[in-house]
Amino acid sequence: MDYREFFQIEIIHDYFSGKPTDLVIIPDKQTKRLLEKQGFLVKKTVEGITVLKPGADQNETVASRTPDHAFVFYVFPTSNSIREYTDTSGFEDGKMILFTNEGLESNTFLLSQSKKEQEGIYKGFPAMASIKIIEREVISSATISNPVYRAVFNTKSIKWKYYFVSSLSTSDITIKTKNEQLSFNKLKTEETTSDQIVNALELNFPNHQIFAFESNNMIPYSDTPIKDIRLIQGDTIFIKHLPNPQTEDQGVQIIRI
């Protein structure tokens, strides 16, 4: 039997510089039955899935048929880590993201976002999102065949904090980045009595100075490290490249110098 590509779904996650990992797209039970009944095929792609349609005329028009089927897919994580850097703010417990092509303007393939009740389990992991593709919308809104719909997940952002435990007698240290892509404000540790990390470091290193810096802006989590973050003492580069805080450390990096 001949098949043609009907539509594609791409998963985009701002955390990844390339294709997202630890995510799979799986049709729900009703969609699986519908696909089998009508002879559709679902194939995995590097970015997501493509849905293949059987025996369809390439010159099919909207006027020839107006199906009202809905294809529903779940997006499941395959590890716990991806939830750590996915922004789900605004989605209270028991809710998940709903992506859909319903109501999209012609030639608009960025799926709209809302929220719905949490449902779906795969290998012990609850679904992160549901994707609902309305067949009549695929046919009526696309002036090109095989539209590529994109479901975009945003990454979390957090302020970075660097804490330095130092035997240096000077306080003339700063953090600078190449092309000033990031900026850091030096905190007055003597005034940060509510900072538990400062308190703990002062307790454990009573004969050292504690320096603390915080980024002026929220920094998105990313699998691509930011390079050339420099610790400078006076006019001298003291540390050429400070390590990026890890996701699991909640934006905090402690360094003994």
pLDDT score at 63: 40
Please compute, for residue 15, the number of CA atoms within 13 A of its CA located in the half-sphere on the CB side: 22
In the prediction, which pLDDT does 78 show? 93
pLDDT digits (tens, 9 = 90+) for 60-77: 544 445 567 899 999 999
* Among the listed residues 169, 133, 126, the one whose alpha carbon sits nearest the alpha carbon of residue 150: 133
Which tokens in the block code for residue 3? Answer: 């098949």
What confidence tens digit (pLDDT) does each residue in 131-163 have?
999 988 887 765 567 899 999 999 999 999 999
User: For residue 153, what are its two tokens?
Assistant: 């997940």
**pLDDT of the residue at 57:** 52
What pLDDT sits at residue 144? 60
User: How far separated are the first and last CA of the chain, in Å rounded?
Assistant: 68
| Domain residue extents for the chain | 3-153, 157-256
Q: Name the 3-class secondary structure at 148.
A: strand
Looking at residue 62, what is its pLDDT? 44
What per-residue confidence (pLDDT) applies to 193?
Answer: 64
pLDDT block averages, 10 residues each, the chain of length 257: 89 92 94 92 94 69 60 94 87 89 85 92 94 87 76 95 86 85 86 79 90 94 92 88 89 92
Q: What is the pLDDT of residue 141?
A: 61
* pLDDT at 77 (0 to 100): 94
Cα torsion 107, 109, 115, 117: sign: positive
